[in-house]
Each structure stands twice: as C-alpha cells, then as structure tokens.
Amino acid sequence: MNNQERIKQAFSDSLAIPLEKVSDDLAYNSIPEWDSTAHMILIAELENLFNVMLDTDDIIDMSSVAKAKEILAKYEIEFDA
C-alpha cells in the first residue's frame, strides 16, 4: 500500500466513511462525520500511520485531505498521484 492509499484509508477509518468519499477536496466540517472529535481521532491515526508527531499549528491547519498531504510533506512523507 502506497502513502496515497494509506492516507485515504486513514481518513476513511477515522471518519467512518466509505473510501470512495475520500478525495483531496474533502474538507473539515464539510460532512457531519468530520467534526472536532473525529478530527482528533484522525490526527492520532495519521501520527501512528506515518510515525510523526504533528505540532499544534499543523493540527489546527489540517482542513482537508489535500492540506493533510501538504502538512505531512513537511515531515518528509511523499504522496504520488
């Protein structure tokens, strides 16, 4: 499983939504499942999955799947199309 697939699976699992609903455009509070509680579950999942410790600003800024990839790239996590 590549990082692109891993991040999609993390969003799907953390938000309890079908994998098909996960796209770069998926944004915080755009669906009822992605609320503040689910956001913290997602953060924990991403930290565990990619073995990183996100700082507070990154956690607050993570507002979409695309933004999550951008933030994780700062931690040398690469995403191929």
Average pLDDT, the chain: 96
pLDDT band at 80 (very low <50, low <70, confident <90, very high): confident
Q: Which long-range contacts (CB under 8 A, 24 or more apart) does 3-9 make?
A: 3/50, 3/77, 3/78, 3/79, 3/80, 4/79, 4/80, 4/81, 6/49, 6/50, 7/46, 7/49, 7/65, 7/68, 7/69, 7/72, 7/79, 8/65
Q: Over range 30-49, report the average pLDDT.
A: 97
Evaluate if residue 81 carries a pLDDT over 70.
no
Predicted structure pTM score: 0.94
Superfamily, domain 3-73: ACP-like (1.10.1200.10)
Q: Over range 46-67, report the average pLDDT.
A: 97
